[in-house]
Structure 1
Amino acid sequence: MITHLAVADLLVTFLMIPLEVGWRLTVQWLAGNLACKVFLFLRAFGLYLSSNVLVCVSLDRYFAILHPLKLNDARRRGKIMLIIAWICSLIYAVPQSFVFHVSSHPEYPKFHQCVTFGFFMNQAEEIAYNLFCVVAMYFVPLLVICCTYTKILCEISTKSRESREDTGRSEGGRTKTKRCTNSAAGGRLTLRRSDTSTIERARGKTLRMTITIVSVFILCWTPYVAMTLWYMFDRESAMRVDTWLQDALFIMAVGNSCANPLVYGSYVVNFRHECSRCLCLCSNTSEANLDVRLTCRSRGK
C-alpha cells in the first residue's frame, strides 16, 4: 500500500509540478496537441491515484482491525483494492484527453494554449464535469477515510473499555490474573495487564494517526476545492481573486502528495531506527575502507 502511494505521489511530484512550473514560465502551450492531451491526462491520473490509494490504505486497516480473523485474505484483498484503484484512476482521468486540446487565440493566431474551450456544449456540462472531478478526487475519498478511521477508533475504544472492566473484575474476585481466564458473566476472555496497556497504546496511536491523516487531507484539499466550487457556480466574482492566491491554493492541494510520505511514513517506519541503521552502515563501510587502505599500505601497494 505504501509503495503504491509513493508511486502516486512521485507521479505528482516529478510530473505534475514540473509541468505546472514550465507552463507558468512559457505562459502559452508550446508542446503540441498530443502532449497537451497526454500531460493533462497524467496530471489528473496522479491526483486520482493518490486519493484512491489513500482509500485503499484506510480500508485495509479497517479490515485488519474490525475483521482480524480474515487476515489470510489480506494480501489478496489488498491486491484487488489496488487494482480497482488503478483502474478507477485511469477511467476518471481518460476524459481529460478529450476535454483538453490546443487552440489558438482568435486575435493572435500564433498564440496557442491547452484549453477546454469548444468541447462543452454549454456551461452546465462544464460544471457537471468539474463537479464530478471534485467529488471523485476529494469528497468520496474524504468520506471513506473519515468513516473507516472513525470505526477503527470506536472498535479500539470498545476493546480497551472491555479489557479494563474484565481486568477489574478478575482482580476483585481472583488473585491469579497473569493468565487469561474465562469471565463468568459474559464468557469473554480476560486480558493480562500487559495486553491492556498494549491496547491503550494502540488506541492512542490510532487516535493520533486518525487526526493527523484526516487533518492533513482536509487542510491541503479544502481551500482549493472551495475555490473550484466558487469558480464553477459564480465565475465572475471568483475571477476577481488574485492569481497568486489561486496558485497558492493549488500548491496546497498538490502539497498533499508531499505530505503523505511524512504522515504515513511516520507511522510505518521507525525513523530513529532507520537513521541509526544507515549511520551504522556508513560507519562500518568507512571502517572497512580504512582497514583496506591500511592493509594495502602495509603491503606496500
Structure 2
Amino acid sequence: MLNSVINPAGPPPVIRWPADGVHNDTGDSAPNATNLSHDMVFNEGHVVTIVTYSILMVISAIGNITVLSIILKRRRKAGTRIHAMLMHLAIADLLVTFLMMPLEITWAWTVQWVFGEPLCRIMAFLRIFGLYLSGFILICISVDRYLAVLQPMRLYQMDRRGKLMIGVAWIASFFCSLPQSFIFHVERHPNVTWFEQCVTYNAFSSKLLELGYLYLSMLMMYWLPLIVILFCYASIIVEIYRRSRESICGQGTDNVRRLGFLGRAKSRTLKMTIIIVIAFVVCWTPYYIMSIWYWIDAKSAMTVDQKVQRVLFMFACANSCMNPIVYGAFNIRTRRTLVTQATVSKTSTETRVVEL
C-alpha cells in the first residue's frame, strides 16, 4: 500500500494510493461515491477539521491582530527591539491564520484537490512558511533576551543585531519551505481517475530520502526552537540568580532596591520560561508523535480514528493562538508599568540591562 507523505506543515491528505476500499480496479472515469473509501468522501473527520480550524482561526486572528495593533501604536512613540520581534511574530502567526487555516478548511470541504497544479505547489509552500517563520522568530526573541542579559556591555550592537536576526529568520523560512513547492504536485488516483489530490507520492526516489527530508523538517521546526528556547532562558535564570547572590553582599539603599528588582526579574523570567516551553511542547508534540507514527508504521497509524488524527495534526496550528497570549502578556506592558520600571532603572546600570 502506497501512502501520501505526511506534510511537515500540517494535516496530510490521508489518501491511500491505491486507496483501500476502492473496489474498481479497471478505472472509474465518472464520479461514483459508492466506489470510494471512507477517506475519499466527506466524513466526520472533515467536519472536525472544518470546525476546529474555524475556531482556531478566529482566536488566532483576534489575538494576533490585537497584539499587532498595540505594538504599532507603541512603535510610533518609543518602539523597542523586542516590540519589533513581537511584531514579526504576530505577522508570522497571521500568515498561518489567513493562509494555512483557510486552505485546510477549504481542502477539508472539497476533500480532493480542485485548484490545479500551480496552486497546489504555491499553497504547499505557503502553508508551511508561516510555521517556520513563527518558530524562527521565537528563536530570535530567545537569543535577543539571552544577549541582553549575558552581554550587557554590547547593548549598542543590539538593535543592528536584532534586525539581522529577523532578516535571517525570514530568509531561512523561505529556503526551508521551498522544497514543498517541488515535492507536492497533483496526482490522479490510479483507479478512480477523476479523483485528484495534492500529494507527495512519487516525489522521492527512495524511502530513505523521504525520511531524511521529514526528519530534517522536524529538526528545524521543532527541536531547534525548543533547544534554543530552553538554553537561552535557562542561562538567563542562572545569570539573574548569580547577580542576585552578588547583591546580597552589597550595602545601602541602591543595593536593596536592585536586589528587589532582580528577584522580580528572576520570578518573571522563570514564569515566562515555563509557560513558553509548555505552550511550545503542548502544541507541537502531539503533531510530531502522530507524524513519526506515520513515518515508521503508516499501516498501524491509519487505524487511529480519523477525528483523533486530525485533532492531533491541528495542535501545531494552536501555537499561533498561544503566541500572542504568552508573549503579549509578558512583553507588552501598560504605559504606567513602563514609567515605573524606567524610574527604577535610573538607580543602576545593572538594573537596566537585567530587565527582560
TM-score exceeds 0.5: yes
1:46 alignment counterpart: 130
Residue 244, structure 1, aligned to residue 307, structure 2: yes
> Which runs of at least 4 in structure 1 moved beyond 4 Å after TM superposition?
271-274
Instruction: Give the C-alpha shift of residue 138 in structure 1.
Output: 0.2
Residue 152, structure 1, aligned to residue 236, structure 2: yes
How has the CA–CA distance of structure 1 residues 272 and 109 changed in structure 2, closer, same or farther, with 3 Å as cutoff?
farther
Q: Give the alignment's TM-score, normalised by structure 2.
A: 0.69
CA distance in 2, matches of 1:162, 1:214: 28
Q: Which of 184, 193, 197 is the matching residue for 2:260?
A: 197
Greater relative contact order: 1 or 2 (C-alpha under 8 angstroms, separation 6 or more)?
Answer: 2
Instruction: Give the C-alpha shift of residue 122 in structure 1.
Output: 2.1
Instruction: Give the C-alpha shift of residue 161 in structure 1.
Output: 1.4
Please say if residues 290 and 313 of structure 2, whose CA atoms lie closer than 8 Å, have aligned partners that are also in contact: no
Identity %: 47
CA distance in 2, matches of 1:151, 1:143: 12
2:167 alignment counterpart: 83
Larger radius of gyration: 1
Q: Which of 274, 291, 296 is the matching residue for 1:228?
A: 291
CA distance in 2, matches of 1:273, 1:118: 59
CA distance in 1, matches of 2:335, 2:171: 37
Instruction: Give the C-alpha shift of residue 270 in structure 1.
Output: 2.8
Instruction: Give the C-alpha shift of residue 94 in structure 1.
Output: 0.4
**Could you give the per-residue CA deviations for residues 254-274 of structure 1, whole angstroms, max 9, x where no partner exists?**
000111000000011236979
Return 5+ residue gaps in structure 2 as ranges. Answer: 1-84, 338-356
Matched letter for residue 109 of structure 1: T
Q: Give the alignment's TM-score, normalised by structure 1.
A: 0.82
Matched letter for residue 159 of structure 1: R
**Could you give the per-residue CA deviations for residues 219-268 of structure 1, whole angstroms, max 9, x where no partner exists?**
11011111111111121211111111111112211000111000000011
Alignment of structure 1 residues 117-266 onto 2, 5 Å: 117-164=201-248, 166-167=249-250, 170=251, 177-178=252-253, 192-266=255-329
Aligned residues: 253
Richer in helix (by share): 1
Residue 270, structure 1, aligned to residue 352, structure 2: no
Instruction: Give the C-alpha shift of residue 141 in structure 1.
Output: 0.9
**Could you give the per-residue CA deviations for residues 9-48 of structure 1, whole angstroms, max 9, x where no partner exists?**
0000111011001100100001110000001101111110
CA distance in 2, matches of 1:238, 1:266: 38
SS in 1 for 2:198: strand
Matched letter for residue 204 of structure 1: S
**Could you give the per-residue CA deviations for residues 168-190 of structure 1, whole angstroms, max 9, x where no partner exists?**
xx4xxxxxx23xxxxxxxxxxxx
CA distance in 2, matches of 1:85, 1:129: 20
CA distance in 1, matches of 2:210, 2:330: 40
Residue 69, structure 1, aligned to residue 132, structure 2: no
Matched letter for residue 200 of structure 1: G
Q: Which of 164, 176, 189 is the matching residue for 1:105?
A: 189
CA distance in 2, matches of 1:122, 1:239: 22
2:86 alignment counterpart: 2
Return 5+ residue gaps in structure 1 as ranges. Answer: 171-176, 179-190, 275-301
